[in-house]
Structure 1
């Protein structure tokens, strides 16, 4: 069915007719708009903010009218974002309190950086060998910007996990989140899906899907009228484990397209954080003159490992009276030895802690440590 007229977003201008053709809201006076049950002061809101509010209302109207929802058409992967159940949909990683503060500060400083700077890099590549904490940082960054209402999308690739290890539904999943985070993109995404019936077919290229589902809709938003959006900071997309996607050629094309998009649109308020191991099809395309590069190994300190160990042992002590009887445990000397044995690897630290605190479970999961050790040797 055709999109109802309500889907045509009004432009803010002077006079009483600037909401011409709009439905499902009323104007109280020239300074206030009543949308649904909410009243908004136009003098205090930018055009884009009103478009976002009205876009949300239009989405609700379309659902009430029984139209096919955009979410149904996009059919996103349900367990690909930062909100997934990490126990059943790994990676099950998060930053322990007090750890990774140095690198998190570096990431947030980059993401919060003004769009008006001359040396403006829209993309950051956080790289390092397996077990150095890339996914934990990606999870923390996604949660941080979700709280700030600035997370446009997040996608966590994971090798051998079906759709999350392939590129086929990557763009549609990202687009579904962008439509929710930046509601003024909703109508553009929906229109492109309807205009290009084969856009979501498996045979359609990843480049075409990202162009019509993500980049063009974001570019269509009237960012030049933004006021508070620039003050609030750019939106952020988090893509974790890009190297774990099996479709290497698609990922290479995705990187080329992403950098070309930002080169043509340098003032788009969007940042993309990518984490991965160092793979040739990724490394050779991320030009250091256009991409912020962060070697996570250089930002992993023994203090981080020590803090993580202390947090895990403190939690175990809190729930185990037998451990409490020993007094201070482990001793400072024992803790120091444990830290030195990790080689500044968080996966080694986590596995050692499991062997100490839950040896039966640790033996079952010991393959994780062995695999990590082999991969780390070859990647260093």
Structure 2
């Protein structure tokens, strides 16, 4: 925070009109309160969630930014708090993917506010804590903190609770109006000197009543109404994932808010590397088996792997380092378990991460479609890298089109998963915010019912692409997918038998198209052989004959399709050529037979 702002706080402080206040660390405690006032405030205390307050003893998730990390984000937020920017932007939205470190940033900001004497009240939502996963305790908890550093309001609040005993049953907007806005404005308007702005910190809005998302919208609208009133003393910092309904709500709020989305622009990998290196140093110093570690442990490659798997999100690195540091086993063994080198005996290092992924994925309305989209993105890089594609562009919507999924379907189905993935219009592919999500989805022991079997999906996708082979591009996509198929099914056999080979009327670029088809043909024959030759030679011959006949129609030379390692293909090819030669001879004979005798058409000699 700037020196100017700190100087201003010394002279103009919201605390200046308070009396009988003791500030100890991060807690505010009012004293010399009459028992009558205390009793009349019991309805308020009954609705307070103590676990939602900064540094509360009941919080199981206290986190803060590691020194030297997220400095750029901190500077931007503190500049906004200081009022150095647009004063009309009284709400700041900090958003980002799951595990990006939003709560750590909010907690660190809150602690810095306390250090600098900035009046602040906070509320930390947490889905797993029934005392702070709903909006019912928000106003009471914020008001409790305001009263702690401004006890002069207690009499007014006690009177209000006496005249409006059911105020906590009213809408969230009315609660803010009667319990916070009106009482605080009374003090602000009656102050002899300008009072400082009051900061409200609300973390994890997406974890508030997540089953009824309209409650989150109601809360944001109420906060906006509180901050947007003329001469309002309130500024509000909100943190959440960028869920679609929250994005729409902030769009409705409009220009009165500022925002940051935690992405690569803020150099998270650099910060994560700093954090991981510091944590490893701490493990080596403090772990009871630290003396058994080699001097060069961990290797640079070990650190690089953790940073890479984090994908710019702190939660993976934090989870891994917490597991290594808290396990009684050798830190070297714990790291090997994280890397998959050593089997996991009992406690998984990814239990916390898996719980987050499971919850997010379980919220999807159409998991079947979402599963196809995620599986498609998981195999897309392999498809694009295959010889058959030869560097041609392939997007997720083109890959999944035979499954009936359009670009619009993909965007819509992924809207519930914005905390972990996002559809990129720029690349027309799905972006995974967490590299570790791939590991989770493909490990049945971790993902359970959400497991994605890429072997089965490759078969399903290849089967869907067979009827779509009506141009060179679709043939190339099919062959690239078919090369990934490792399991045979009756449905796949039916599709291969039913396919009617497509033949272009013309080869627009004969030399180029034939070169492409040679590569495609070779890859397809190799895939067919690997799938059927050892297990069902008769079926293999049937399908191979169909494909070789098609390649022969396209005038692709034998030498470009297979070599001497596939004698059965050579034999079938020769049979096809003999048959074609016989057909041509028979056709010529039939042609000449239809012609009249030369003697009949030769003009008579006169």
Q: TM-score, normalised by structure 1?
A: 0.75
Pairing partner for 2:287 from 320, 345, 352:
320
Pairing partner for 1:250 from 215, 223, 226:
215
3-state secondary structure, aligned to 1:164: coil
Structure 2 counterparts to residues 213-232 of structure 1, below 5 A: 213-223=179-189, 225=191, 227=193, 229-230=195-196
Find the counterpart in structure 1 of residue 203 from structure 2.
Answer: 240
Pairing partner for 2:77 from 107, 115, 118:
107
Check whether the contact 1:122–1:291 (CA below 8 A) recurs between aligned residues.
Answer: yes
Check whether the contact 2:125–2:207 (CA below 8 A) recurs between aligned residues.
Answer: yes
3-state secondary structure, aligned to 2:53: coil
CA distance in 1, matches of 2:75, 2:180: 28
Pairing partner for 1:334 from 286, 302, 317:
302
Matched, 1:150 2:118: yes
Find the counterpart in structure 2 of residue 18 from structure 1.
Answer: none
Matched, 1:206 2:172: yes
Structure 2 counterparts to residues 1-380 of structure 1, below 5 A: 51-53=17-19, 60-63=31-34, 68=39, 70=41, 73-75=44-46, 76-85=48-57, 89-113=59-83, 119-200=87-168, 203-223=169-189, 225=191, 227=193, 229-230=195-196, 234-246=197-209, 247-265=212-230, 267-286=231-250, 287-297=253-263, 298-320=265-287, 322-324=289-291, 325-357=293-325, 358=327, 359=334, 363-364=347-348, 366-373=350-357, 375=360, 376-378=419-421
Deviation at 1:107, TM superposition (A): 1.1
CA distance in 2, matches of 1:212, 1:222: 15
CA distance in 2, matches of 1:371, 1:60: 43
- Choose 101-110 or 189-198, whichever is displaced more: 189-198
Please state which structure has a larger fraction of its residues in helix. Answer: 2
Q: For 1:326-348, what per-residue CA distance to the aligned partner results, in whole angstroms no more than 9, with x for missing partners? A: 22332334322321221111111
Deviation at 1:235, TM superposition (A): 2.4
Q: For 1:266-323, what per-residue CA distance to the aligned partner results, in whole angstroms no more than 9, with x for missing partners? A: x333221111112233221213511111102243521110111012111111113754
CA distance in 1, matches of 2:90, 2:175: 20
RMSD after superposition: 3.1
> Structure 2 vs 1, CA of residues 248 and 362 (structure 1 numbering), >3 Å: closer, same or farther?
farther
Higher relative contact order (CA 8 A, sep 6+): 1
Check whether the contact 1:355–1:362 (CA below 8 A) recurs between aligned residues.
Answer: no
Check whether the contact 1:48–1:223 (CA below 8 A) recurs between aligned residues.
Answer: no
3-state secondary structure, aligned to 2:132: helix
> Structure 2 vs 1, CA of residues 280 and 113 (structure 1 numbering), >3 Å: closer, same or farther?
same
Count of paired positions = 325
Unmatched segments (≥5 aa) in structure 1:
1-43
Find the counterpart in structure 2 of residue 20 from structure 1.
Answer: none
Q: For 1:32-63, what per-residue CA distance to the aligned partner results, in whole angstroms no more than 9, with x for missing partners? A: xxxxxxxxxxxx9879756312789xx74542
**In terms of Rg, which structure is larger?**
2
> Structure 2 vs 1, CA of residues 118 and 332 (structure 1 numbering), >3 Å: closer, same or farther?
closer
Q: For 1:126-166, what per-residue CA distance to the aligned partner results, in whole angstroms no more than 9, with x for missing partners? A: 01111110111111111111222324311111113212111
Check whether the contact 1:185–1:217 (CA below 8 A) recurs between aligned residues.
Answer: yes
3-state secondary structure, aligned to 1:104: helix
CA distance in 2, matches of 1:326, 1:208: 62
Unmatched segments (≥5 aa) in structure 2:
1-9, 23-29, 328-333, 335-343, 361-418, 423-430, 432-606
Find the counterpart in structure 2 of residue 12 from structure 1.
Answer: none
CA distance in 2, matches of 1:361, 1:178: 49
Find the counterpart in structure 1 of residue 403 from structure 2.
Answer: none
Check whether the contact 2:95–2:260 (CA below 8 A) recurs between aligned residues.
Answer: yes
> Structure 2 vs 1, CA of residues 209 and 65 (structure 1 numbering), >3 Å: closer, same or farther?
closer
CA distance in 2, matches of 1:74, 1:361: 46
Check whether the contact 1:223–1:268 (CA below 8 A) recurs between aligned residues.
Answer: no
3-state secondary structure, aligned to 1:369: helix
Q: TM-score, normalised by structure 2?
A: 0.49
> Structure 2 vs 1, CA of residues 296 and 152 (structure 1 numbering), >3 Å: closer, same or farther?
same
CA distance in 1, matches of 2:279, 2:162: 51
Check whether the contact 1:138–1:240 (CA below 8 A) recurs between aligned residues.
Answer: yes
CA distance in 2, matches of 1:353, 1:304: 14
CA distance in 2, matches of 1:89, 1:361: 29
CA distance in 1, matches of 2:140, 2:261: 30
3-state secondary structure, aligned to 2:272: helix
Check whether the contact 2:37–2:154 (CA below 8 A) recurs between aligned residues.
Answer: no
CA distance in 2, matches of 1:315, 1:95: 16
